[in-house]
Structure 1
Amino acid sequence: MLYSIDNGKYVRHIPHKKEFDKWMAMLSKADYAKIENELNKRINMSDVNTAGWIPGHDWTGTVFEPIYHACGQNITHSAMFFGLIVFNLLMNRQDKVWGFGRFEKDGKPIESMTYFVLDNPPSF
């Protein structure tokens, strides 16, 4: 489950759904399952995760490479789709409540969303 720190509400719908659905249609179910499994494995290792830092910069030969191909080899769209996959995955997880927002590191804005486990989540 996802909780927006900015607006103080639980999120139940994915943003940019039209684009997400278009790119999902270009990704096989098997590839998506591999991506989801890898993301869950990595996310389970930490209570704080910044989406853009999870896959690294070179996706060649990784489970994330099919995202690039599903987006017509467009790097910008691939990054956006990856972020939406992470958002959707955490929104649908029932084991924890994840807060999210945009933050800075060393005084510079982080380009992607950062997610963190809320120990005392607000009630619905």
Structure 2
Amino acid sequence: MILSVESGKEINYVPHRTEYAKWLKKLQKFDNTAYDQIRKVLNNIADLNEVITSSWIPGHDWHGTVYQPLYYALENDDISAAKFYGLILFEVILQRPETWGFGRYAKDGRPIKGMTYFRLPNWQVS
């Protein structure tokens, strides 16, 4: 479950659903196992961490990683691939059994490019 810490409300859908569905079809046509592999890796990361910043996971060079098919499936469009990756991570966190919050933050006074997710172990949905 994902909660908007700002509003205190549960988020129960992946944003940008139309684009997400379009990109998912392209990925599955390009590599029908990549989506499941990416989800598995992201779930493993979520199992081991209480805070996850989306842009810090894949790094800048996706070559030879589980994320590389996103780039190729979206015709080498690194901006769309990064957005698609972010939506996959959002969906993974959304479907997890524990409660997570999210937001955009800064480090050392500089805005972090990606979304930061964090477990909310004591949060109660009202």
Could you say which TM-score interval applies, normalised by the shorter chain?
Answer: over 0.9
TM-aligned CA deviation for residue 11 of structure 1: 0.2
The alignment covers a number of residue pairs equal to: 123
Give 1:44's aligned residue.
47
Aligned mates of 2:103, 2:5 — CA distance in 1: 6
The two structures have a TM-score, normalised by structure 2, of: 0.92
Aligned mates of 1:115, 1:123 — CA distance in 2: 17
Give 1:2's aligned residue.
2
Give 2:12's aligned residue.
12
Deviations 1:2-47 (A, max 9, x none): 0111222100011111110010001124111111111111222210
1:1-124 equivalent positions in 2, closer than 5 A: 1-28=1-28, 29-94=32-97, 96-124=98-126
TM-aligned CA deviation for residue 70 of structure 1: 2.0
Q: Percent identity?
A: 42
Aligned mates of 2:115, 2:69 — CA distance in 1: 21
TM-aligned CA deviation for residue 122 of structure 1: 2.2
Deviations 1:50-78 (A, max 9, x none): 01101111111111101111222101111
Q: Where does the alignment leave 5 or more consecutive residues of structure 2 unmatched?
A: none
Query: 4+ residue runs of structure 1 moved beyond 2 angstroms?
Result: none
1:101, 1:114 within 8 Å by CA — same for their partners in 2? yes
Aligned mates of 1:32, 1:66 — CA distance in 2: 9
Q: Where does the alignment leave 5 or more consecutive residues of structure 1 unmatched?
A: none
SS in 1 for 2:85: helix
SS in 1 for 2:33: helix
